[in-house]
Amino acid sequence: MKQPGFIFKIVLVMLPLLLCTCGATTILSSSNLHPLILIPGNGGNQLEARLTNQYKPSSFICETYPLFKKKNSWFRLWFDSSVLLGPFTRCFARRMTLHYNPELDDFFNTPGVQTRVPHFGSTKSLLYLNPRLKLITEYMASLVDSLEELGYIDGETLFGAPYDFRYGLAAPGHPSQVGTKFLNDLKSLIEKASISNGGKPVILVSHSLGGLFVQQLLSRSPSSWYKKYIKHFVAISAPWGGTVDEMLTFASGNTLGVPLVDPLLVRDEQRSSESNLWLLPNPKMFDPQMSLVITSNRSYSAHDMTDFLKDIGFPEGVYPYQTRILPLIENVEAPEVPVTCVIGTGMRTAESLFYRDGNFDEQPEISYGDGDGTVNMVSLLALQSLWKDEKNLDLKVIKIGGVSHTSILKDAGALDEIMGEICGINAQAELGITISNALSA
């Protein structure tokens, strides 16, 4: 058996080599890479729809839109550029709208509208929201290109887990058919990715809302499962505590930067989204004394969400929020796997919304604070405060100044940081193999 001093020398020699900067010439063999699964954020993958005989168009335009589609055939629902035109915006919004059924205690599509998520298991639907409009709808294309430069191959070591991002999850005891199915599908994909790669545990890389789904998957799985199948969890731009920007969405509608769209035309559809309820500011993480929305009559903190939903004219959101969402976000459990949070900082991020005359149909004056332009800093860093007393916690935070919530997926400097982290995770595994082989020699 080798002496400990000899092993230490091996480690000293190998460590700088294994932790080298990743790139096209990386020494990490693609055959030794841990499989990696990408989980997108809200609006971060393509959606398709099909209309049945139950569909009741609200206008002649909606009956014929999109043009040239075959009867009962699937067509692109998200993202379709025709949403930029007012009449088509209304058709789009109606088809995207969810409906909560109090008797069944779950969310459902608009009657007559079937939806599906294409290319589950592949990164194909994550690259561009519309492949015909690559320049303006790029999402994870640059990130995937960088991963492929490390040696990752789509369908072999690299996988995608797109989902219907309108749906969220609910607290235990409440049905959440679509969201729960996605968790089960993701769990199966993790197991298959690991098994097809010689039993290597998987690296999960999420963006935005995807991080909340991953956290829920881990908290709902036995530790024996995720210790076997999960190598590392890299959460990019995760809104652990929700966002003030989401209150703008509920109050006045949010075009999300898409030009020409009237926010009021999409407001009802956005309010109907189960996942948007999930992304409202978490009262456990936002200061109860901090006014997030201010009108001439009163102000609303994260603890006043029930009143806020009523006062903006969305009382039907109160019951699902109180019964399904609040219990879900009260306890964000720390998993026993290494977690790296990669966040953007230094971007003007909505911190308070001012409605001087109390008219929520108007866009508010906005007071800004720090964050990534979408998610507030208190939310991005929530795990540090929530998990500060956790024993054996392996949590790392990488802050990248001057990158926004979505540009972090394509900014060259940000991609270097993310690739460096993924390279390091794989290098640690190779280092462990090297030491194990040396000890057994």
Q: Among this protein's residues, is 208 annotated catalytic? A: yes
Among the options 34, 207, 232, 405, which is catalytic? 405
Closest CA to 231 of 9, 13, 426, 26: 426
Element housing 307 (H / E): helix 305-311
DSSP E strands in 195-326: the ranges are 202-207, 230-236, 293-295, 299-300
Contact 365, 260 (CB under 8 A): no
Give dist(CA 220, CA 33) in Å, integer: 27
Among the options 206, 372, 379, 404, which is catalytic? 372
Beta 98-101 vs 75-78: how paired, if at all? unpaired
Closest CA to 190 of 158, 229, 240: 229
Q: What's the count of helices (H) and strands (E) in the chain, helices before strands? A: 18, 15
Closest CA to 256 of 189, 311, 208, 313: 208
Give dist(CA 31, CA 27) in Å, integer: 11
Question: For residue 299, what are the β-bridge partners?
Answer: 294
Contact 398, 342 (CB under 8 A): yes
Question: HSE (CB half, 13 Å, CA atoms) of 263?
Answer: 16
**What's the distance, CA 96 to chain centroid?**
18
Beta 158-160 vs 293-295: how paired, if at all? unpaired
Question: For residue 128, what are the β-bridge partners?
Answer: 138
Give dist(CA 188, CA 184) in Å, integer: 6
Among the options 125, 146, 176, 208, which is catalytic? 208
DSSP E strands in 237-317: the ranges are 293-295, 299-300
Contact 176, 169 (CB under 8 A): yes
Q: Specify whether the backbone of 172 is left (phi greater than 0), alpha (psi in -120 to 50) or beta.
A: beta
**SS3 category, 337:** coil
Residue whose entry in the numeric block shows the structure tokens 């703008």: 248
Give dist(CA 336, CA 350) in Å, integer: 33
Rounded to 5 degrees, what angle do the CA atoms 272, 274, 275 make?
120
Active site residues: 208, 372, 405
